[in-house]
Structure 1
Amino acid sequence: MLKQLFVIAALSSSLVISGCETVPPQDNVTTNLNQLQNRTWIATYIGNQEIKTAPSAHNIPSLQFDAATKRVSGADGCNRIMGSYNAGKDTLTFGPLAGTQMACLNNNGLDRKYNEALAKVTHYQVFGKTLKLLDRYGNPLIQYESAVQPR
């Protein structure tokens, strides 16, 4: 009788403990994608060089990732850019990016540097309101801040 009671108690305990473990952990892929997508990201650094643009400037370097269409759009500091992207837990690749062909003066080659950096992106990191696009070695290429939307 004591053995049976012990077996029943052990089985009950294991069921209670395993029942607590059946709650699925939060999916890191979904969390990272939710933080990346459907926001406006304003570029603040290319490599270790700070990007300084006037708030009233047109085509400030920025990106928006549309989760529904897997399309990216934004600006490179001169031209509007658009294309496709593929993102995973921490990986990010861009399809061919198209853009307008405006002649921009006095931007110190910002558009060229920005597009060269985008071409090297293979990974990303999102921490709160900061997005970092990284190369295959984990080196930061472009850093962004999430835009504050007026209410």
Structure 2
Amino acid sequence: MLKPLLLMVALGSAVIFTGCESMPSSPHVTENLQQLQNRTWIATQIGTTTIQTTPSANHIPSIQFDEATKRVSGSDGCNRIMGSYTAGTDTLQLSQLATTRMACMNNNNIDRHYNEALAKVTHYQVFGKTLKLLDRHGNLLIQFESAVQPR
């Protein structure tokens, strides 16, 4: 009698744990990813330095996350950047980042600071029109504003 009961408990546990593995992602994950992806983010702050730009400025650090291709692209304020990314609920891994190598004059090394910050990104937070890229300790690396409000 004890063996069949033990067998049923074991089988029931296996079914429950297998079911948990195949559950779809939570709505929170989907919502965060939808807010992160498929829009242009304009950098407003790198570390503690505020980036002052005018609406007509040409060389503004920016980033875009393409949901379909899982590719990241943008600008460091001088050069184009491109690579791939993996994102979770609040985690973000940028990989295979590459940049063009144009000479950048009179930009207060924003391009260098931007690329150094991108190399340290492990997490993100999205609140409406604001994106924050964070390091593994939760420190702000880069803050962005959405160029266009999503539909």
TM-score, length-scaled by structure 2: 0.79
Whether the 8 Å contact between 2:39 and 2:148 is mirrored in structure 1 is no
Q: Give the Å deviation of 1:130.
A: 0.3
Q: Give the Å deviation of 1:27.
A: 1.2
Whether the 8 Å contact between 2:44 and 2:50 is mirrored in structure 1 is yes
User: What RMSD, in angstroms, separates the aligned Cα atoms of the two structures?
Assistant: 1.7
1:86-119 alpha-carbon deviations (Å, 9 max, x no partner):
0000000101211111101000100000000000
Residues 25 and 68 of structure 1, relative CA distance in 2, 3 Å threshold: closer
CA distance in 1, matches of 2:74, 2:130: 17
* Corresponding position of 1:49: 49
Instruction: Indicate the SS of the match to 2:116.
Output: helix
Map 1:59-74; keep pairs closer than 5 Å: 59-74=59-74
CA distance in 2, matches of 1:26, 1:109: 40
1:24-49 alpha-carbon deviations (Å, 9 max, x no partner):
99611101000000010000000121
Q: Give the Å deviation of 1:55.
A: 2.6
Map 1:1-151; keep pairs closer than 5 Å: 27-148=27-148
Instruction: Indicate the SS of the match to 2:58.
Output: coil
CA distance in 2, matches of 1:79, 1:63: 12
Whether the 8 Å contact between 2:92 and 2:121 is mirrored in structure 1 is yes
- Tell me which structure has the larger Cα radius of gyration: 1
Q: Flag structure 1 segments of 5+ consecutive residues without an equivalent.
A: 1-23
State the AA in 1 paired with 2:145. E
* Corresponding position of 2:14: none
Whether the 8 Å contact between 2:133 and 2:141 is mirrored in structure 1 is yes
TM-score, length-scaled by structure 1: 0.79
Whether the 8 Å contact between 1:83 and 1:98 is mirrored in structure 2 is yes
* Count of paired positions: 126
Q: Which runs of 4+ in 1 moved over 4 A?
A: none
State the AA in 2 paired with 1:77. G
* Corresponding position of 1:12: none
Whether the 8 Å contact between 1:76 and 1:114 is mirrored in structure 2 is yes
